[in-house]
Structure 1
């Protein structure tokens, strides 16, 4: 099964300080056809105005991943972390049995854009915070894994997130366990997956497949996130 989720079909919410596009039902946006995919519950594509952001609020029972695509986040949480997360870095916050935090645009002049991703955990324990820049390496780079192997961030779920970077005119085979599900979210550029063409903001669901071919036929680099899910 292959199902494309086009960028312009996503739910959209706007406030005076935030524009957010929701791949799955979230907050005031409800679509029973798009409640998540496997344990992947949320992908929000957020644009935040200068010096604005999310005030202190709580989470529990969720693995929350943030990937900054422009600007810098100012992060504070109830574990005592006071961090900045610049463009290209990944943040994994395990909410555990309960955590509060705030997230703000650290700039007073430039907008902040990010992907906020929620994955349902396999187990719930104490809150945890991890952050790392994995750079831009050609091909697929695992950034979040269940074991934390090879310096990846460790998630409390049988799921792996990889960063896909393809230079112009290059391709990458994707080998899939046909008992697993895969979701791909395009961040920048154009992705050709088999006969499907996806651009920034588009997503695609894959299930029951054993392989797919990922290609960048465009002149600019391609950047995407690839979720391997139970």
Structure 2
């Protein structure tokens, strides 16, 4: 088994006033050659956008881009004609493929929007761009790992162009479970949204990240009420 630990206070930080972003992996002006990616997981940004502010129209191609709002409302517009607002408990994915333009703004004028911006290298390049979002009820992941992103079409999850699985869990103090890997050659990057958990004997606090690979399952214990995100991605 191999592991890598990224404590929350070791992340890169860029505070532009309208945007306060913490980078788990090298991004923009934050560069650490030891933190370029975890397998196919390229970007994990923990963003807070000021009221009424946001990212103007900009391009992407050949990347799987997942947005998970944690607080507030994020307005999305793109060159495929999609206009949507994503909120807490929503998960959004864009397969940028051959190329798209999009913008993201804080829909609220009175509070920041906080969300995770996640990029995953695609399995297949130059596909037709696509967009999908879905709302997941928090009560459906109490003491359960709820799969929200998967590589196949399913009414339960949104589809990613990669052999990747994302799971969210709201775990009560003392709850214990195991996570079984979906495929050989993958690793899991665990990110603690709130609370504290112990995974494979490693205690993790709020916003800590922990990558594990070369094993088949993980033991998870909630040391206190906790919210976690598990991202299983190919390591090659």
- Pick the TM interval, shorter chain: over 0.9
The answer to whether the 8 A contact 1:178-1:207 is kept is no
Unaligned runs of 5+ in 2: none
> Hey, what does 2:128 align to over in structure 1?
126
> Hey, what does 2:137 align to over in structure 1?
135
1:20-35 aligned within 5 A: 20-35=21-36
Would you say 1:170 and 2:175 are equivalent positions?
A: yes
1:47-196 aligned within 5 A: 47-124=48-125, 125-136=127-138, 137-138=141-142, 139-176=144-181, 179-196=185-202
Q: Of 210, 221, 233, which aligns to 1:229?
A: 233
Comparing 158-167 with 99-108, greater Cα deviation is found at 158-167
User: How many angstroms apart in 2 are the aligned matches of 1:211 and 1:96?
Assistant: 32
CA displacement at 1:48 relative to structure 2: 0.7
Count of residues in Structure 1 that have an aligned counterpart in Structure 2: 228
CA displacement at 1:175 relative to structure 2: 2.0
> Hey, what does 2:4 align to over in structure 1?
3
CA displacement at 1:169 relative to structure 2: 2.0
CA displacement at 1:150 relative to structure 2: 4.0
Secondary structure at 1:151's aligned position in 2?
A: coil
CA displacement at 1:76 relative to structure 2: 0.6
CA displacement at 1:178 relative to structure 2: 5.7
Unaligned runs of 5+ in 1: none
Secondary structure at 1:149's aligned position in 2?
A: coil
User: How many angstroms apart in 1 are the aligned matches of 2:221 and 2:85?
Assistant: 33
User: How many angstroms apart in 1 are the aligned matches of 2:15 and 2:52?
Assistant: 17
The answer to whether the 8 A contact 2:64-2:120 is kept is yes
The answer to whether the 8 A contact 2:147-2:156 is kept is no
The answer to whether the 8 A contact 1:93-1:129 is kept is yes
User: How many angstroms apart in 1 are the aligned matches of 2:88 and 2:217?
Assistant: 31
User: How many angstroms apart in 1 are the aligned matches of 2:146 and 2:170?
Assistant: 8
The answer to whether the 8 A contact 2:50-2:112 is kept is yes
Secondary structure at 2:9's aligned position in 1?
A: helix
> Hey, what does 1:210 align to over in structure 2?
216
User: How many angstroms apart in 2 are the aligned matches of 1:120 and 1:208?
Assistant: 20
User: How many angstroms apart in 1 are the aligned matches of 2:159 and 2:168?
Assistant: 15
User: How many angstroms apart in 1 are the aligned matches of 2:185 and 2:83?
Assistant: 40
